[in-house]
Amino acid sequence: MKQMMNRLMLVIFSAGLLLAAATAGFAGHHGTHKEKKTGILLVAFGSSEASAQVSFENIDRKVKAAWPDVAVCWAYTSRIIRHKLAKQGKQLDSPAMALARMADEQFTHVAVQSLHTIAGAEYHDLTRVVGAFKSMGDFESIVLGYPLLATQADMEKTVDALLDMIPADREKQDAVVFMGHGTHHPGNAFYAALMFQAQQRDPLVFIGGVEGYPEIDDIQSWLAEKKIKTAWLLPFMSVAGDHAKNDMAGDEADSWKSILSESGIQCRTVMKGTAEYDSFVAIWLSHLENALNHFH
């Protein structure tokens, strides 16, 4: 009975908070006129690897160069990454906290740009957060920009960017294997679709996921069928963080490098995230530009 009462009190308390927030948002706009203040919120999965920050720094520079008069804020969707960074003394906001701060700082128009690769679970969680702030009315306008892969045009540009990533000293008969994150979300289908389109241009390009199809066992089987002797391994993630260092290029028995090496394939690794390449950043920036165009 006591546990049931505690749950009831928690529900009532939560409902009260939501009502207070909604009322505050309505009261803040009723009968007042705010001066237009536009902001950009860049939202990434995040990384606790210091070496991965070069990717985020590149995006940050490009965004600020394109929109020098617009304030740029950051948020990480990964709770685990935020907690790791907090232990290091670095505070990164969740999207909800970042938007609450921006509302408190009187921003009126906010473009939230996803820096995810596909519209997977992280992106859809972000859509719910943006939708909640839209319904509360804290901003005159809030718009969410697409992740890297959203349209057929994005797919074609990404294939171009992937092929440009391939090192110049790759031999014609070498395979090139890109490691994506992968997900159990339906959005995982983008990886196989992207590989299909990439192979129309280069049949020895393969794209898999750490946590989704195609898996490394599938790729290893395809490479064996083609009697591949050498494979280049590159991350298909915005940063060359923990997954790239350990799951792709690590010395543990279950890393992609180890699995392929065990089957007799010589592996050569490249540790560079997609956000370090301007061709990929340009795709994200095009989605951000579309979001900002809603405010004109």
- Residues with Cβ within 8 Å of 263's Cβ and at least 6 positions away in sequence, in order, are 220, 223, 224
- Rounded to 10 degrees, the C-alpha dihedral 91/94/98/100 comes to -120
The two structure tokens encoding residue 34: 């705010």
* Active site (annotated) includes residue 181: yes
The catalytic residue among 181, 184, 294, 296 is 181
Beta-ladder partners of 267:
231
The two structure tokens encoding residue 244: 């790239």
Residues tagged active-site: 181
